[in-house]
Homo-oligomer: A and B are copies of this chain.
């Protein structure tokens, strides 16, 4: 049996994965039930259960009470993205981090962002525009709206000293987040902030986070040209 973590459950996931990859168990096949596998591997049923649940979460197995466990027919590919704190990301790459607050004021909320945040259009939020640099080269430009109703104290913070992201993450953990990746041609402003040409394709991440008081913040991050967001599975 292929080992992995010295843990029995991990060893079982590896072995089951191997059987699937080697097509001993084919897509759609029903695999032996937990009790049988427990006997085969010489472990308790709870251990087999843990292993199979991991593989089900990964999307390799479909499990249903009474119907048993089947190898997923068309496994959808799931990928876990880790969106790091900008500063940490830049410092980890061995570059020197700096950032510049381009604008900070109260402004009435545009319709599009109001919809994302489930707030009435035109209500006043804190609007913040920041550029983050690695070794003085623009890394990402962020355009952020902060809801002081869900994040009290935001108005008194000096966002030159601490980034909005870090302050928010540290002070207002969220319950739920919406996220989307898209591509946009750099606007004149994007181009200026990221020191590139207008029209250049930029990877855009928009993210809105909520806690029990409603939307905390909505941010549009434009990455520098050529940036790639990595995910693994």
Binds B, one of A126-134, A138-146, A166-174: A166-174
CB distance from A199 to the nearest CB of B (A): 6
Asked if A81 is at the interface (CB within 8 A of a chain B CB), the reply is yes
Q: Mark A211-233, 1 if CB is under 8 A from B, else 0.
A: 11000000000010111111111
Q: Which residues of B lie under 8 Å from residue A180 when comparing CB positions?
A: 228-231
Asked if A79 is at the interface (CB within 8 A of a chain B CB), the reply is yes
Q: Which of B27, B73, B226, B232 contacts A182 (CB 8 A)?
A: B226
Q: Decide: B27 and A173 in contact? CB cutoff 8 A.
A: yes
Q: Which of B80, B211, B229 contacts A80 (CB 8 A)?
A: B80
Q: Mark A176-196, 1 if CB is under 8 A from B, else 0.
A: 111111111100000000000
Q: Which residues of B lie under 8 Å from residue A60 when comparing CB positions?
A: 173
Q: Decide: B233 and A75 in contact? CB cutoff 8 A.
A: no
Q: Decide: B74 and A85 in contact? CB cutoff 8 A.
A: yes
Asked if A76 is at the interface (CB within 8 A of a chain B CB), the reply is yes
Considering only CB atoms, which chain B residue lies closest to A226 in the complex?
B182
